[in-house]
Structure 1
Amino acid sequence: MANTAEGGLIPVASYARTSQDAPQRDARGVRHQHRINERTAREHGCVVVATYTDNARNATKDDRERPGFDHLLADLHRGHAFAAGPLHGVVAVADDRLYRRPEDFIRFTAALTSAPGRVYVDRDGLRNPYSKAGLLQGADSLQGAVAEGETRSRRVQDWHWSRAMDGLPHSGPRPFGWQEDRRTLHPVESELVRKAIEDRIGGGSMGRVAREWNASGVTGTRGGRPNPQTVTQIITAPRVCGFRANRGELLIDPATEKPLVGAWEAIVTPERWAELCSTFSAGSLYMHRGPLSPRLTDRKSSPKYLLTGFLRCGVCDQPMGGSKSSRSRKSPYNYVCAAGRGCGRCAISGPLVEEAVERLLSPVDGQGRVRLPEPMRLRWQSGEMGFEEKRKVIASVFTHLVIASGRKGCGAWDHSRVVPVWKWADRIGGADPAA
């Protein structure tokens, strides 16, 4: 049983989150959740001593910050809230308020169970987060939240595709070069775009265009300062010649079998836009924002090896990259510190370091700094967990991993060379090797 506060009640933290705060923008949704949490806590022998709130914060996308959630996890690792005293549990109206992604489920479970005797409370009652049944219940909730998020995502994608097929403008912030109606050309910005296109076709650089725009005080529609990448995105967007695109692909009019023309004024002709695009290298052209997004060239930039971007050389502290190796069947690829960018004096077997990471996430004795929930561990080890999901799990646990230099002539695998730097190093304790 959890430790109790004065009066025999278990002190818990109340967490509330909403994805949107509209139309009133008065935080009514999170206030409503906290009120329900207080009632739920009383009904199950608990008392709310601290509240944590993320208003209008999406929990599905991995690039969205949730300061309230991060603060809650930090206090759980410490074991108390600074002003409210000890915390022995968490109450929320539903699991999906806390997590909608596997990495957030791992972080929350690790923080909640970082000390013994804690509880999780929702409207169904007390849950033991240390038991197999409790973990399975949390994993089931996660699976439901992921499925619901995918369903909503498909609906939104279908809605945007239908608007695009009608030739309607994008529904987001107004594009640079057009008025607020997204149809009429902006007299100043459209001329800047047209001149930049002509300059590029004539052999000019995007760096020079960006410097000219900055010198003239030009800012983007969100207030940002232009740089070569944003200028390239602006002038190579299909909208500049009137074409409509959706999710990285030009839409084709089924009647004419030609690119679909949108209901807005074009800045240049399609021929001029195609000539502009031919001046850029593969992968540089804009179709829609975001990493790993499809390009006109159908090329994607994505990691090939599991730990790309996570490893640092223990000699010079530079990033280490993966490369193929034909010298060993046991190690068909290695992670190396490249000479020139780094010292070139450190390398490690790819399978070795990935096995070491798996040991850190699923320690054999169960006494490690972090342990994956059992359903997630089984999915990882059985091969059911995909490449990208594994990378997200790793990113949620480690800041990076330092690779110490190996001993010359030592043929045995030495897992202690892999030294983790935990995301919560100040709360978890010292970083230990994966021995």
Structure 2
Amino acid sequence: MKRCAIYTRLSKDADGTETATARQEADARAFAAAKGWTVAEVFKDVDLSAYRKVTRPGYESMLTALASRQVDGVLVWKLDRLVRSPAEFERFWAICETHDATLASVNEPVDTSNELGLVIVRILVAFARLESATMSLRLRSVKAASAKAGRPKHGGPRAFGLTDGWTDIVPHEADMIVDAAARVLAGESIRSIVLDWNRQSLTTSTGRPWSAQTLRNLLLQRRLCGQREHRGEIVADGVWPAILDVDTCDRLRTVLTDPARTVPHAGRTFLLSGILRCHNCDSRMRGSIATNGRRRYACPPKPEGCNGTVILADPTDQLLADMVCDALDSPDLASALGRPDDDGDDHAARIRVLIGRLDDLAGMWANGGISRREWMTARTSIDQQLEQARAAAAATTRNRQAAPWVGRGMQLRARWDDGLDLEFQRAAVGAVIDRAVIRAAVKGRNRFDADRIVVEWRA
């Protein structure tokens, strides 16, 4: 080899210390000098894996240099810096064979000039892959053990609301979380909170603007109430300070995972998208603009819906807005919401107790304490209780969302006509209306008929 290319890659050694590309390059240059080789070019990749299928720009440029005969071979600090996949090595070696290039390693006795040497190289690559797979397994095991022990998560961006290491609360960020939780539970949309925060130039822990998905993911994290979740299950109480109480976290999860909150993107400019239901197939109707320019709600086409129900949007919006404002000033609604379930705050605790019973039951079956038939019978009963408890928690949460609007129907109507933000309008409607079923048209699609609308109230 007269002209060699040095390839370096930043990674973690087995003992956890960093092998910097500069050190790899220095060792490789000394090795090349001892051999009398000229270093034609140095290619490097920083913080990129050779185990997972990721594109490495430096590696690809090195292959291009080999294919164009700009270099006679490649020198690496160690083979696992180059590849950790047998398939990728074969791709690399095919290029070397085609263009009479060679491979050398500073720390391994690599000789690719004969078949025995190539067999040894392939064995080393296979062991490098095994080492990567073993390391990945160890890391997953460590993370699972950390989760079960309730220890903080390490690595990645700083957790919003907590300092590095999760030792203390960041006051202004914790205040934002508390504010967002209260607003969501009062019926406000994630999107309106995000718009408000971004107008104030409030940012995430990485300094980026907020998005609806980022805020939603944050509010669903169990760490906010000092708990640790692993694979969807609460596995331990944490050792870091809590920002919210457990009940608030449970209520947030109930609200944010409610399927009724999911509104098709195209329907977000319509008040009742997702609230109106087709009488024929029960699909959620979407807002759209007809060819004549009129706004309407329509059942989606198959397979989501039957595409057979349509109603004019503007008069429907106005009718339901009036009904909502009237209902909020109604003594009946005030009475219904004024006596929310006295045990509402206990629903979340009961859910946790029932989940604990399921875990205990599974443990008894696993240890041979009960038969599979006994386990299934008991589990069916607990599942039914769990479903009832979750339904009661959801009902209580919805009542709490509606409560702030009660008695403010006239004020709301005045603000409505004065251009109240659509997100607040949707929050007000959703607080008291579960859904509205649109019956089949009798007078024709282009004529509004209020009798087609059947409202189902939340309380």
Tell whether 2:139 aligns with 1:166: no
Alignment CA distance shift 1:230-1:74 (3 Å): farther
Instruction: Give 2:132's aligned residue.
Output: 149
In structure 1, what is the equivalent of residue 45 of structure 2?
A: 54
Distance 1:245 1:133, change over 3 A: farther
What does the per-residue CA deviation read over 1:95-152, in whole Å, with 9 as the maximum and x for residues that have no partner?
2111124664465345444x42111222424315xx8767655543332122111222
User: Could you say which residue in structure 1 is the equivalent of 2:206?
Assistant: 222
Instruction: Report if the CA contact (8 A) 2:9-2:21 is conserved.
Output: yes
Q: Distance in 1 between matches of 2:121 and 2:183?
A: 57
Aligned to 2:171: 187
Shift of 1:199: 2.6
Q: Offset at 1:238? A: 0.9
Change over 3 Å in CA distance of 1:13–1:181 after alignment to 2: closer
Change (3 A) 1:74 1:279: farther
Shift of 1:224: 2.0
Counterpart residue type for residue 142 of structure 1: V
- Corresponding residue number in structure 1 for 2:59: 69
> Which of 154, 159, 164 in structure 2 is aligned with 1:175?
159
Instruction: Name the CA shift for 1:121/1:220 in 2 (closer, same or farther; >3 Å).
Output: same
In structure 2, do the counterparts of structure 1 residues 140 and 234 end up closer, same or farther at CA, with 3 Å as the change threshold?
same
Give the distance between the partners of 2:94 and 2:207, measured in 1 at CA. 39
Residues paired across the two proteins, number: 253
Task: Give the match for residue 100 of structure 2.
Answer: 117
Which residue of 4, 11, 20 maps to 1:19? 11
Aligned-pair identity (%) = 25
Contact 2:27 2:77 in 1 (8 A): yes
Q: Where is the helix percentage greater, Structure 1 or Structure 2?
A: 2
Pick aligned residue for 1:127 from 112, 117, 125: 112
Q: Does 1:276 align with 2:252?
A: yes
Aligned to 1:314: none
Pick closer, same or farther for the CA change 1:276–1:62 going to 2, 3 Å.
farther
Offset at residue 154 of structure 1 (A): 2.7
Kept in 1, the 8 Å contact 2:225–2:249? The answer is yes
* 12 and 274 in structure 1: CA distance in 2 versus 1, 3 angstrom threshold: same
Q: Which amino acid aligns with 1:152?
A: M
Deviations along 1:129-185, whole A, 9 cap, x unmatched?
Answer: xx8767655543332122111222233233333333332222233211123451332
TM value normalised by structure 2: 0.48
Residues 10 and 48, structure 2, Cα contact 8 Å, conserved in 1? yes
Q: C-alpha distance in 2, partners of 1:76/1:206?
A: 53
1:298-325 C-alpha deviation (Å, 9 max, x unpaired): xxxxxxxxxxxxxxxxxxxxxxxxxxxx
Structure showing greater radius of gyration is 2
1:211 lines up with 2:211 in the alignment: no
* Separation in structure 1 between the aligned mates of residue 81 and residue 200 of structure 2, nearest angstrom: 46
Structure 1 residue aligned with 2:84: 100
Which string of whole-angstrom CA distances, capped at 9 and with x for unpartnered residues, describes residues 31-57 of structure 1?
433344345446667443222233454
Structure 2, unpaired ranges of 5+? 260-459
In the superposition, relative to structure 1, how do residues 158 and 78 fare at CA in structure 2: closer, same or farther (>3 Å)? same
Which residue of 8, 32, 49 corresponds with 2:23?
32
Mapped partners of 2:211, 2:91: distance in 1: 36
8 Å CA contact retained: 2:159, 2:166: yes
Structure 2 CA distance, aligned partners of 1:226 and 1:106? 45
Aligned to 2:159, the other structure's residue is in SS state coil
Aligned-partner Cα distance in 1 for 2:52–2:252: 33
SS at match of 2:84: coil
Structure 1 residues 256-271: aligned runs within 5 Å: 260-271=236-247
Deviates more, 1:196-205 or 1:104-113: 104-113
For residue 127 of structure 1, give the secondary structure of its aligned residue in structure 2. Answer: coil
Alignment partner of 2:154: what SS? coil
Of residues 65-74 and 192-201 in structure 1, the stretch that sits farther from structure 2 once superposed is 65-74
